[in-house]
Amino acid sequence: MSGTLAIIGGTGLTELPGLTISAAHDIQTPFGAPSAPVLEGELNGLRVLFIARHGHPHKIPPHQVNYRANLWALQKLYATDVIAVNAVGGISKNMKPGTLISPAQIIDYSFGRESTIFDGEFAPLSHIDFSFPYTETLRAELVRSAAKVDQKVINGGVYGVSQGPRLETAAEIFRMERDGCDIVGMTGMPEACLARELKLNFASLGLVVNSAAGKGASAITLKDIDDHLSAGMQRVRLILSQLVVDFYQS
């Protein structure tokens, strides 16, 4: 692929180890300040942009992330392709903690978030085709790169986006399951639709860190989530390191 790859780090990935930083860009956008400076540097000797979705240190709750500013800042620095890392809960039976997934679809249950640049002020009212919210070629590249480092990423599935910051009730999860959701998280939207509006290729790498409410044998604890985050993010970093190489060679 040609262009520049950007990575949005979520919970558990506020830094990108191995990134040799050449610049930290404090960009002011038409939508205010991004969550954190956009880091520009090299990973495996290749140019990468990185931004911590929740800030660094991790402090911004999902419903208060300035998604518009984050995506706009990445595009301003010439990003063409974006990988969003998401910590999620597992709904489907095969979505056990530790599972990696690149979802193909989204159902948005969030509300009240600034979700468009076509707001009549920054840009005139317009509409995007969002039938297929993720870029299939980028998702395929992600899955192939994972396989090269012996990591399995499930290709496909539906990401249900909840409001947060609280975790969901069991009834809400059962509803999402009936709707066809495989995973649940709090940050999948409006990132995906803003990327489409800004003409950025976009894919998600989801790490299942807990069984969703009512789906596990015991109550959800933050310790269990942190344990799965710690172990899983090592695998995520391995995949991203390989993806950078494959991205610029393809």
The answer on whether 201 is annotated among ligand-binding residues is: no
d(CA 197, CA 124): 12
Yes or no: say if 82 and 142 are a contact pair by the CB < 8 Å rule.
no
The answer on whether 54 is annotated among ligand-binding residues is: yes
The answer on whether 86 is annotated among ligand-binding residues is: no
Given phi > 0 = left and psi -120 to 50 = alpha, else beta, which region is 112? Answer: left
The answer on whether 166 is annotated among ligand-binding residues is: no
Cα Rg of the chain, angstroms = 17
| 220: Cα separation from own chain's centroid | 22
The answer on whether 211 is annotated among ligand-binding residues is: yes
d(CA 213, CA 52): 27
> Phi, psi at residue 68, to the nearest 5°?
-60, -45
List binding-site positions for phosphate.
Answer: 11, 53-54, 187
Per the annotation, where are the binding residues for substrate?
Answer: 186, 210-212
Residue numbers in the known binding site are 11, 53-54, 186-187, 210-212
